[in-house]
Amino acid sequence: MLKLSRALLCAATLFTAGLAQAADPIVIKFAHVVAENTPKGQGALLFKTLAEERLPGKVKVEVYPNSSLFGDGKEMEALLLGDVQMLAPSLAKFEHYTKQVQIYDLPFLFNDLAAVDRFQAAQGKQLLTSMQDKNILGLAYWHNGLKQLSANKALHEPKDARGLKFRVQASSVLEEQFKAIRANPRKMSFAEVYQGLQTGTVNGTENTWSNYESQKVNEVQKYFT
């Protein structure tokens, strides 16, 4: 499945407004759900390094990887409550805040990452501010690679996925993709995926190579497509 996986670096707008006014050092809690050795995890650590280098004594960044502070189901709520100030969620997480960003969940929309870059340099910029009325501001797009499918059987044609239970994020667009090939989508948080695959709660999932490797999905899935 030539499917885009992107993270949207976002912050609460009330926080960003307060940052410019505050005189005392500000603590920025930056939470995400994947491992530190993934592109997203490395990006978060680089942000911490650069922010603290360029604003010495003014900013302290605390990075919380691997759902260690908030998991998939709670991180957006935590952002709006001010319990965390920055996130890098998958774009599928924004369904309840704007329908516009759902465009990125559509399969086969872009030929390659260069096409993605062209789109986001133009029309995509408008989407970063599409949630400001919800006090969420998109700061940047981060590449996370193209998605692959994993399963407990080889998938050569769409019919091979028929009847299998696939873990999906909380996205109605992703749900409909699997229903279209007569598979059964199951919404599940990222932290629960390994156990879900191990116990047979789900038979497969869709994600990027870095997340498969860092979560050792190859231990519980024989086939990647």
pLDDT, average across residues 192-201: 96
pLDDT, tens digit (0-9, with 9 covering 90-100), for 123-138: 999 999 999 999 999 9
pLDDT, average across residues 131-151: 91
Encoded tokens for 112: 């390659």
**How many residues are given for the chain?**
225
With a cut of 70, say whether residue 111 has pLDDT above it.
Answer: yes
Gap between the Cα atoms of 207 and 102, Å rounded: 17
pLDDT at 30: 97
Cβ atoms of residues 208 and 147 within 8 Å: yes
pLDDT, average across residues 196-221: 95
> Letter for the amino acid at 76?
M
pLDDT, average across residues 153-171: 95
With a cut of 60, say whether residue 18 has pLDDT above it.
Answer: no
Rg (the chain; Cα; Å): 18
Q: What domains are defined for the chain?
A: 3-145 (3.40.190.170), 147-218 (3.40.190.10)
pLDDT at 64: 97
pLDDT tier at 147, thresholds 50, 70, 90: confident
Cβ atoms of residues 183 and 79 within 8 Å: no
pLDDT at 151: 97
pLDDT at 7: 67
With a cut of 80, say whether residue 23 has pLDDT above it.
Answer: no
pLDDT, tens digit (0-9, with 9 covering 90-100), for 82-109: 999 999 999 888 988 999 999 998 888 8
With a cut of 50, say whether residue 150 has pLDDT above it.
Answer: yes
Encoded tokens for 86: 């920055």
pLDDT at 1: 40
pLDDT, average across residues 150-176: 95
Gap between the Cα atoms of 70 and 86, Å rounded: 12
Encoded tokens for 49: 């390094």
pLDDT at 19: 53
- From the CB of residue 154, how many other CB atoms can be counted at a distance below 10 Å? 10
pLDDT, tens digit (0-9, with 9 covering 90-100), for 30-81: 999 999 999 999 999 999 999 999 999 999 999 999 999 998 889 999 999 9
pLDDT at 13: 59
